[in-house]
């Protein structure tokens, strides 16, 4: 290729890139297909609106496994990720978890303006549940934890007043069972029947 041909080629590529970079922002000049594509991508939270500040990540911490799971509000992790993160720590066994539990944890963090939530208990293997019952722990015979429908958690810093505030918030969600464990400083939430109780 001659030098003249090279210069012309560069000029054409530059012109094409320039026209793409400086596309007409007028919505009237945007094709219907492009508008629909943009609408679909922003509808699912994949692409934030131009100029919008991205939502802050909520960091879930599993106190038994010392693992972290960062969740972007509005987006749900894969089922396999949820199951693994909330697995039973005693048997190291995962189970299919109720996806709404992660959404509840994220909503609680946002409500209390906390970047972190500590998970005390997620899935509880029936074998481990029986061991806890035999040791005198306050666990139900057919606990929602054994079905993958419950999570115990707290929002740092722990205090009795904060635990009571979280309990009040949890009850207001009207999702399922809410247990208050004021002495231990955590709240139980599940997706079973609506009911309330207190423990240690």
Give per-residue pLDDT as tens, 39-85. Answer: 544 444 556 678 877 778 999 999 999 999 999 999 999 999 999 99
Domain assignment of residue 7, yes or no: no
The pLDDT of residue 8 is 39
Domain assignment of residue 6, yes or no: no
Domain assignment of residue 51, yes or no: no
Domain assignment of residue 72, yes or no: yes
> CB count, 10 Å around CB of 114?
15
- Each as own residue / partner, the long-range contacts of residues 97-100 (CB below 8 Å, 24 or more positions apart, any chain) are 97/122, 97/123, 97/148, 97/149, 98/148, 98/149, 98/191, 100/175, 100/191
Bridge partner list, 116 = 59
Q: How far apart are the C-alpha atoms of 161 and 165, rounded to whole Å?
A: 6
Placement of tokens 């909503």 in the chain? 107
Domain assignment of residue 110, yes or no: yes
The pLDDT of residue 50 is 83
Domain assignment of residue 141, yes or no: yes
| pLDDT of 191 higher than 70 | yes
CA distances from 88 to 37, 129, 132, 136, 144 (A): 41, 10, 13, 19, 13
The pLDDT of residue 20 is 41
Contact yes or no for 178/167 (Cβ under 8 A): yes
| pLDDT of 22 higher than 70 | no
What's the start-to-end Cα distance of the chain, in Å? 82
Domain assignment of residue 121, yes or no: yes
Q: What is the pTM of this model?
A: 0.73
CA distances from 22 to 17, 26, 34, 89 (A): 9, 11, 16, 54
* CA torsion through residues 134, 120, 76, 175, sign: positive
Report the percent of the chain where pLDDT is more than 70: 76
- The CATH number of the domain where 192 resides is what? 3.30.1380
CA distances from 52 to 25, 49, 56, 176 (A): 17, 5, 12, 34
Per the structure, how many domains does the chain have?
A: 1
Instruction: Quote the domain boundaries for residue 174.
Output: 58-199
Give per-residue pLDDT as tens, 146-189. Answer: 999 999 999 999 999 999 999 999 999 999 999 999 999 999 99
Domain assignment of residue 27, yes or no: no
Contact yes or no for 183/175 (Cβ under 8 A): no
| pLDDT of 197 higher than 60 | yes
Q: Please state the length of the chain.
A: 200
The pLDDT of residue 30 is 53
Q: How far apart are the C-alpha atoms of 82 and 84, rounded to whole Å?
A: 5
pLDDT-derived band at 36 (thresholds 50, 70, 90) equals low
């Amino acid at each position: 290729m001659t030098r003249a041909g090279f210069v012309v080629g560069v000029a054409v590529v530059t012109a094409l890139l320039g026209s793409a970079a400086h596309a007409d922002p007028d919505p009237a000049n945007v094709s219907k297909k492009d508008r629909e594509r943009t609408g679909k991508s922003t509808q699912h939270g994949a692409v934030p609106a131009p100029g919008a500040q991205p939502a802050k990540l909520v960091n879930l911490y599993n106190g038994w496994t010392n693992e972290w799971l960062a969740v972007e509000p509005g987006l749900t992790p894969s089922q396999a990720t949820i199951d693994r993160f909330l697995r039973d720590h005693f048997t190291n066994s995962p189970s299919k978890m109720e996806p709404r539990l992660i959404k509840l944890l994220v909503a609680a963090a946002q409500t209390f303006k906390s970047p972190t939530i500590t998970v005390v208990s997620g899935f509880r293997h029936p074998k481990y549940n029986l061991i806890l019952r035999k040791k005198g722990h306050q666990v139900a015979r057919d606990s929602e934890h054994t079905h993958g429908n419950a999570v115990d958690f707290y929002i740092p810093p722990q205090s009795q007043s904060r635990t009571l505030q979280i309990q009040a918030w949890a009850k207001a969600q009207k999702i399922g069972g809410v247990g208050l464990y004021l002495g231990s400083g955590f709240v139980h939430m599940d997706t079973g029947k609506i009911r309330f109780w207190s423990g240690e």
